[in-house]
Amino acid sequence: MSISFPDIEAADRLLEGRIVRTPFLRSETLSAISGADLFLKFENRQYTASFKDRGAYIYLAGLDEAQRQAGVIALSAGNHAQGVAYHAARMGVPATIVMPEATPFSKVRAAEFLGAEVILRGETIAEGETFIHERAEAKGLTFVHPYDDPRIVAGQGTVGLEMLRAVPGLDFLVVPIGGGGLIAGIAIAARALSPETHVIGVEATGYPSMHHALKGLPAPPGGPTIAEGIAVKRPGALTLPLVRELVEDILLVDEAAMEHGVQLLAEIEKTVAEGAGAAALAAVLSHPERFRGRRTGLVVSGGNIDARILASVLMRGLVRSGRLVRLRIEIQDQPGGLARAAAAIASAGGNIVDVQHQRWFEDVPIKLTDIEVALETRDEAHVGQVLEALQAAGMRAVRLSSRSV
């Protein structure tokens, strides 16, 4: 199974009017923060908020009439499921999506809303593999692989085609890696359009499957991650040799770096990215010397992040940057004690968002009490000013929150 640049060009023509030609824009602020000249490809602005729309359409467009009538089946906990469901519904193809039983309700509802039949089976994607092949054989369904298929790779490669046509001669393309379909397609496009451009992959430290496979290391154990979209335990048989040939390096990023990327994209670019979608930015920020001063394209591959997780990431980001802190303050347990603490905080410009008294659970003299106060502050320097104001007012204050959340 070979894939060539003409395959990607053909896919690009087929996609006209079928997907969103997403923006590829320079970020002034992120460039200043990173030291690199950064351009962002906003694939989170596809209809299903993921680049997966591209490959799904190209695969379905290649079905014959009998396959379309019988229907398709896919195994996915998120983006691939929605891409297949969306285009299958538009093309009148029955779609069945198999998801793990613990898949968030929002993702199940999204696939159902797009017209697919959803079957929950097993605790993990791997546990659903046997079932999906049995179901496909019994019902005559065509299995749509999420990454290890030439049509899928060609469709995803149109991301790179659009990037390099919009901004020729980039020094780097930084691309998240799950099974490898996206980076393989982009690397093929880059080899044809801009051979001097270096293609760099990014994986989560808990799921370095492509990195390990290239180095002959055993498959990683996995574990909880914010980057579910690239939490793949083994790369594709088709994509692995393409990555070996065309991708210069694979960088690993930890959970905190990806959280920081999600936070920055939300605050600076006003765009919602999932963990995998922020992985490329996380890699550039984690390896600043490598990209300093270089024209670098980043793929924001998707934006399907659970609302609760997004809220937690943003709040944890405030703590990390010193904009939300928690202090324990020892005050006189008498009228006016709390008011004096609040006045000292106000004098330094801090904003109190929550107060809790601790009279019984802390080891303090009986005529004193501890209060735990959550504050909004500007930055780390401002936190220091608030602590100095409290001490100047005769109150002992200790910071409870940490930057390493």
Active site residues: 52, 301
d(C-alpha 204, C-alpha 154), whole Å: 24
3-state secondary structure the chain: CCCCHHHHHHHHHHHCCCCCCCCEEECHHHHHHHCCEEEEEEHHHCCCCECHHHHHHHHHHCCCHHHHHHCEEEECCCHHHHHHHHHHHHHCCCEEEEECCCCCHHHHHHHHHCCCEEEECCCCHHHHHHHHHHHHHHHCCEECCCCCCHHHHHHHHHHHHHHHHHCCCCCEEEEECCCCHHHHHHHHHHHHHCCCCEEEEEEECCCCHHHHHHCCCCCCCCCCCCCHHHCCCCCCCCHHHHHHHHCCEEEEECHHHHHHHHHHHHHCCCCCCCCHHHHHHHHHHHCHHHHCCCEEEEEECECCCCHHHHHHHHHHHHHHCCCEEEEEEEEECCCCHHHHHHHHHHHCCCEEEEEEEECCCCCCCCCEEEEEEEEECCCHHHHHHHHHHHHHCCCEEEECCCCCC
d(C-alpha 264, C-alpha 251), whole Å: 20
Q: At what angle do helices 52-61 and 79-91 cross, to 10 degrees?
A: 40
- Sole residue written with tokens 């209060």: 371
Closest CA to 193 of 41, 42, 9: 9
d(C-alpha 310, C-alpha 154), whole Å: 31
